């Protein structure tokens, strides 16, 4: 059977300026600079269900005529347009909003025209003020109202014809002028505008509307094979139920599993990435494929597909979702190697080329050739991997190294999958060049790992998150801030002790809607790395670890409180990008975030130095926070439990990382007297 793949999503038909009637000149109005827009409309902006989309455009024409404009929009699945009037905001900018309510692709554009009646009303008012004769203007106005009556038809048209008769009737000019300037007449004429020469923005822009989990969530990563209660035994998916309960008890939303598929034996890696495995070494889960199966099979020592279904059901009962790692690469023992050898690159001697990233060599992994002769068959097969796991209750995928596969493939496959399952969420593990990382986000990935791991100073964090929060990047790329991963134990954590882990958790949980940890090593504040590297010593990627989490209780309580604060405060999960606040000390980082309705504001202050206490003065934007300079206000530290009475824009902060490295403040706006302190509800 012939299968075909369209490498790029079908191009949307571009709207053009409204065609004039025969003999009419083209529109005079210019619709320019529509925002938000990504790469000239090549890619959709991202929102989640129930979000508002604020659209603005620069609209102008020659001369001084008044203009009218509408925002045209439609939800996913709708064929007709709805409209909202756009309001002028000065300097030729117009603005309006709409709300997306369905998963899928919504659309919007802008249309504008010369508002002849408003232009007439403005001219009439000026001439009246100057004492000029307005007889001709009244006749002109009557004609405009009669034209609106023709467009309206029915009872509305009859009412407008009566109003037109008053304008060119026998009453005194002043009385007729007052009738023409009546606000209710202007509203009625505006309901039936003359849009024959309207100009429409030449593109229909799209909104990729996803579910809330695409924007916010707390992720907990663990290896099921390390979940056995007895040291030395290979854990199973049934053993992992206890780890699910542990993650749920700390308030995490997503449990993320590294690959759970059969692991190859050929060229299996040993401990700490040794070139050769010893007897009993389990190998890397990313060396996917064995006689037991490939990307849609379960590693036999983990259990069965029924065991996996039971794990997903248990997670759902605990309020968790299961996310799977999808790594499109194969061990030499993968069934694809025998059945589809043409899906791999070959050396001149006919052998298959294993993966390399000099000086690293991955003899246990064969990369796929996405441009092979049977590329269409390969692409369909990989798409069906996602569809298989979606049928087994997995709707979140962390994609391994997507930047090493063709970007056009991701653009195609994500759209293919989400056309069938719009609930699917994709996280890109792309520690790569900025342009590539940003393109993956535009191509459809719901979230992305970022450079957060390598941004540790106040200056680095301020600059980087300022960049992530600016359009158009903020409309395409959502950050998922992992404080550590099985691949990355940053020097900051290696040398900073428990305070460093607390600092990074506080930053990750409050700077972005999504954050995560590679669980047990983070909870236990594991700092042992291979020399001169970010690789964990005794890495769980290459061996089974037995984690005794009893000593991790203090850290677990800290993580639990962070997630509890996030659940209670929408400013941290769906709020604005962080606004960084001036602080007099170079090691103190302060920022505020507010929810879209402006009802919830959280101010976070973090000492980013894990070794020393620091103090300084933080400056708050009182007016933006709804605070009065003359009145005291209460700052509740949601993380530490203390309460502070502040007044004015500058207030003193001191943070000792050995005790508590961060304040996460709720701002109480309505505190009026010191007597209210500690009692205001």
Q: Catalytic residue positions?
A: 400, 429
- 681: number of Cβ within 10 Å: 4
> Sign of dihedral through CA atoms 628, 634, 638, 639?
positive
Burial of 5 (0-12, 13-18, 19+ CB in 10 A): middle
| Nearest CA-CA partner of 311 in 263, 231, 359, 257 | 257
CA dihedral in degrees (654, 659, 665, 669; nearest 10)?
-60
Task: Tell me the C-alpha distance between 70 and 81, whole Å.
Answer: 11
The secondary structure of 611-667 as a DSSP string is SS-EEEEEE--TTTTT--TTS-EEEEETTT--EEEE-SSEEEEEE-TTT-SEEEEEE
Report CA-CA distances (Å) from 130 to 116, 137, 141, 142, 447. 21, 14, 18, 21, 61
Q: Kindly provide the residue ranges of all beta strands, DSSP E only, lying in 36-190, ordered along the sequence.
A: 45-48, 52-60, 67-74, 82-85, 87-90, 93-99, 104-114
- Decide if 401 contacts 429 (C-beta within 8 A): yes
Taking CB atoms within 8 Å and a gap of at least 24, the contacts of 182-187 are 185/145, 186/117, 186/118, 186/121
- Decide if 298 contacts 324 (C-beta within 8 A): no
Task: Tell me the C-alpha distance between 617 and 625, whole Å.
Answer: 17
Task: Tell me the C-alpha distance between 218 and 508, whole Å.
Answer: 10
Give the tokens for residue 267.
């060229």
Burial of 551 (0-12, 13-18, 19+ CB in 10 A): exposed
Pairing relation of β-strands 360-362 and 199-200? unpaired
Task: Tell me the C-alpha distance between 358 and 587, whole Å.
Answer: 37
Report CA-CA distances (Å) from 520 to 247, 523, 525, 540, 568. 10, 5, 8, 10, 25
- The strand pairing partners of 666, in sequence order, are 602, 636
Residue 419 Cα to chain centre, angstroms: 19
Place of tokens 């997306």: 100
Pairing relation of β-strands 45-48 and 67-74? unpaired
- Decide if 634 contacts 671 (C-beta within 8 A): yes
- Decide if 76 contacts 48 (C-beta within 8 A): no
Backbone angles phi, psi at 460, to 5 degrees: -65, -45
Give the tokens for residue 57.
């455009």
Task: Tell me the C-alpha distance between 618 and 493, whole Å.
Answer: 27
């Amino acid at each position: 059977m012939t299968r075909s793949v369209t490498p790029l999503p079908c191009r949307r038909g571009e709207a053009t300026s409204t065609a004039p009637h025969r003999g009419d000149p083209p529109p005079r109005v210019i619709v320019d600079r529509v925002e938000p827009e990504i790469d000239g409309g090549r890619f959709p902006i991202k929102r989640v269900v129930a979000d508002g989309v604020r659209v603005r455009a620069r609209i102008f024409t020659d001369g001084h005529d008044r203009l009218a404009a509408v925002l045209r929009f439609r939800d996913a699945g709708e064929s007709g347009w709805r409209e909202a009037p756009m309001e002028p905001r000065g300097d030729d900018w117009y603005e309006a909003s709409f709300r997306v309510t369905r998963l899928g692709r919504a659309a919007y554009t802008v249309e504008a025209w010369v508002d002849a009646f408003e232009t007439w009303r403005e001219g009439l008012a000026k001439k009246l003020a100057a004492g000029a004769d307005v007889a001709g203007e009244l006749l002109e106005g009557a004609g405009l109202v009669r034209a609106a009556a023709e467009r309206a038809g029915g009872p509305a048209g009859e009412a407008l014809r009566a109003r037109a008769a008053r304008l060119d009737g026998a009453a005194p000019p002043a009385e007729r002028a007052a009738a023409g300037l009546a606000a209710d007449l202007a509203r009625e004429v505006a309901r039936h505008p003359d849009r024959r020469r309207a100009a429409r923005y030449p593109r229909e822009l799209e909104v990729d509307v996803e579910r809330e989990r695409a924007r916010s969530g707390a992720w907990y990563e663990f290896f099921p094979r390390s979940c056995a209660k007895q040291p030395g035994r290979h854990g199973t998916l049934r053993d992992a139920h206890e780890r699910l309960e542990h993650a749920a008890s700390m308030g995490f939303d997503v449990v993320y599993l590294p690959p759970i598929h059969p692991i190859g034996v050929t060229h299996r890696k040993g401990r700490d990435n040794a070139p050769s495995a010893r007897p009993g070494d389990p190998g890397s889960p990313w060396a996917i494929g064995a006689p037991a199966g490939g990307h849609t099979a379960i590693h036999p020592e983990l259990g069965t597909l029924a065991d996996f279904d039971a794990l997903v059901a248990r997670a759902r009962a605990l309020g968790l979702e299961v996310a799977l790692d999808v790594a499109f690469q194969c061990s030499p023992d993968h069934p694809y190697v025998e059945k589809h050898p043409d899906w791999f690159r070959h050396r001149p001697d006919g052998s298959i080329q294993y993966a390399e990233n000099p000086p690293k060599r991955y003899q246990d992994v064969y990369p796929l050739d996405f441009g092979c002769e049977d590329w269409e068959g390969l692409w369909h097969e990989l798409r069906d991997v996602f569809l298989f796991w979606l049928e087994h209750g997995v709707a979140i995928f962390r994609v391994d190294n997507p930047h090493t596969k063709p970007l056009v493939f991701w653009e195609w496959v994500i759209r293919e999958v989400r056309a069938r399952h719009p609930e699917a969420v994709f996280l890109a593990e792309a520690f790569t060049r900025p342009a590539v990382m940003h393109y993956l986000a535009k191509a459809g990935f719901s979230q992305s790992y970022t450079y957060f791991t390598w941004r540790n100073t106040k200056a680095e964090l301020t600059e980087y998150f300022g960049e992530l929060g600016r359009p158009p990047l903020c409309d395409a790329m959502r950050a998922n801030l992992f404080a550590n991963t099985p691949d990355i134990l940053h020097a900051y954590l290696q040398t900073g002790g428990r305070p460093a882990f607390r600092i990074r958790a506080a930053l990750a949980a409050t700077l972005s809607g999504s954050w995560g940890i590679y669980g047990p090593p983070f909870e236990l504040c594991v700092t042992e790395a291979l020399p001169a590297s970010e690789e964990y010593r005794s890495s769980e990627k290459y061996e089974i670890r037995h984690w005794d989490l009893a000593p991790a209780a203090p850290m677990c309580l800290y993580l639990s409180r962070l997630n509890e604060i996030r659940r209670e405060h929408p400013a941290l999960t769906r709020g604005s990008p962080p606004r960084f606040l001036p602080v007099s000390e170079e090691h103190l980082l302060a920022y505020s975030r507010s929810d879209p309705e402006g009802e919830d504001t959280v101010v976070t202050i973090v000492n980013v130095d894990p070794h020393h206490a620091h103090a300084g003065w933080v400056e708050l934007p009182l007016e933006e926070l709804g605070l009065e300079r003359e009145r005291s206000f209460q700052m509740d530290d949601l993380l530490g439990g203390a309460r502070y009475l502040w007044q004015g824009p500058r207030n003193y902060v001191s943070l000792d990382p050995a005790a508590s490295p961060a304040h996460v403040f709720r701002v109480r706006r309505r505190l009026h007297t010191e007597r209210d302190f500690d009692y205001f509800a």
